[in-house]
Amino acid sequence: MHTIKQQWFGNVRADLLAGVVVGLALIPEALAFAFIVGVDPRVALYASFAIAVITSFVGGRPGLISAATGAMALILVNLMADHGLQYVLAATVLTGIIQFILGGLGVANLMRFIPNSVMLGFVNALGIMIFITQLPYLRGHDAMTYVFAIATLVLVYAVPRFFTAIPAPLIAIVVMTGIALISGVSLQTIGDLGKMPNSLPTFFLPDIPLNLETLKIIFPYSLALSIVGLLESLLTSQVLDDMTDTPSDKNREARGQGIANFFTGFFGGMAGCALIGQSMINIKSGGRGRLSTFTAGVFLMFLIIVLGDVVVKIPMPVLAGVMIMVAMTTFNWGSFKFLKQAPKTESIVMLITVAIILYTHNLAIGVVVGVILSSLFFVANISRVTVTSDSGIYKVKGPLFFASTTKFIQSFQAVKEKEIIIDFEDSQLWDESSVGAVAKVKQKLEEEGVAVSIRGLNSSSEQLYEKLL
């Protein structure tokens, strides 16, 4: 672990530059996420500013970029529609509390239990949902809308071939907005849908009744936000660990996300988490330290306050074009190869995770079901136990535990020999039920007049056997 001074000032020049680039790259998505939730752009921009700045101090992964995100926005849609902004802010505060507690309990250690098939399902469903949210800005408008969206898409994919210093989405937005203003075409703009903030966020308490009824409304949302936020943040931390060859404190990151969301709610911002795309941009641009994240947040706020009047002129189809690129990048195109190559059960887990998320519109439910399903598949897979008999020697292959004992017992139903040996060399007794099953088989056979001896138990199985019998 680096010292605090190194984490902040070990890479000043590159961190400042990368922070500026990331600050620019954060703006289009923050705006789009606000529109997804149905809140004023202010709510997402304040969130991005507050979360980036707070996590730069309390996060566990230097260089990680956290802000308003699509995954969190998608969860907040219904809460906003049914109960309004004050509940969104209250849910954000509660999310912070839950994440902080989970971080304190060491939630990051549970990441190992989430298989990559579930993570793939998560990002793929996220990509598809972000794509779907952009369609209303295209469909039902005139042909010019499509022209601008497609031209934007072409630009975001073509520009990086020639020029990579400034994020392509930003170049595309500036160019296309310029074309729209000069040519005078009439397109729906950001200004038509919301107002830009012209001041720094202020501290206030969400205006909600503090009672059990409120808690009942916001708790399910906060729980979902907590799960999704931690999942994406910890995944992003892992990617950055790999890119930079440096370790990070994942539980501290979880607590940091909690602290950031807690305060963001009071500053009028919606819940957020780490952004994979922007974090990767940060690393690629040379950002490594906490200063890069801090700079990104501050520069974003600065730009919004200075350029707010220009930002409202950005045509919606241009923003939608950028977001379609974001959706395509979020989607993991290697998944098709994965479906062909991976074991069937893993493919099923991925597809079901995607299907559930698309059906429920809730990323958290998909992840939870995916994890349960994959654990069941794992247990089913590992519980294969075979018993082969050869002249009185019964060889047991595979682990014996609660899920595999039935098969084990069944294998001894038709014993013809008068004397048998059960060989456990390729097996292991895992729990009470396995010892119980061995005892049951032994007792039943002995009642039938078969002499049973046991051999080949490894030392831990032997210990368990001795202890329980």
Partner 1 sequence: MKIAVAIDGSENALRAATHAITLAKHFPEAHLEFIYVADYDKAKDERLLSQNEESLLLKRRQKVEPVLELAQTAGLQAKMTLLKGNPSQEIIKYVNAQAMDQLIMGSRGLNTFQEMMLGSVSHKVMKHVDCPVTIVK
Q: Which residues of the shown chain bind partner 1 in the complex (CB under 8 A)? A: 112, 115-116, 119-120, 123, 157, 161, 235, 238-239, 241-245, 276, 280, 283-284, 332-334, 338
Residue 160 or 178 with smaller CB distance to partner 1: 160
Minimum CB–partner distance for residue 345 and partner 1 (Å): 13
Minimum CB–partner distance for residue 367 and partner 1 (Å): 14
Minimum CB–partner distance for residue 242 and partner 1 (Å): 6
Q: Tell me the torsion sign for CA atoms 185, 23, 280, 369.
A: negative
Minimum CB–partner distance for residue 377 and partner 1 (Å): 14
Minimum CB–partner distance for residue 63 and partner 1 (Å): 13
What's the rounded Cα separation, in Å, for the pair 62 and 80?
32
Minimum CB–partner distance for residue 335 and partner 1 (Å): 8
Minimum CB–partner distance for residue 73 and partner 1 (Å): 20
- CB-based burial label for 199 (10 Å; 0-12, 13-18, 19+): exposed
Look at the chain and count its residues. 469
Quick check: 149 and 319 in contact, CB under 8 A? Answer: no
Alpha-helical runs (H) found in 60-207: 70-83, 85-104, 116-134, 143-158, 168-183, 190-193
Closest CA to 252 of 197, 220, 290: 290
Residue 111 or 144 with smaller CB distance to partner 1: 111
Closest CA to 36 of 260, 352, 363: 363
- Write the single-letter amino acid at 120: L
Q: What is the CA radius of gyration of the chain?
A: 28
Quick check: 271 and 38 in contact, CB under 8 A? Answer: no
Q: Is 423 helix (H, G, I), strand (E, B) or coil?
A: strand
Pairing of strands 393-400, 386-390: antiparallel
Closest CA to 276 of 101, 426, 61, 79: 61
Minimum CB–partner distance for residue 310 and partner 1 (Å): 31
3-state helix, strand, coil in the chain (%, to 5): 70, 10, 25
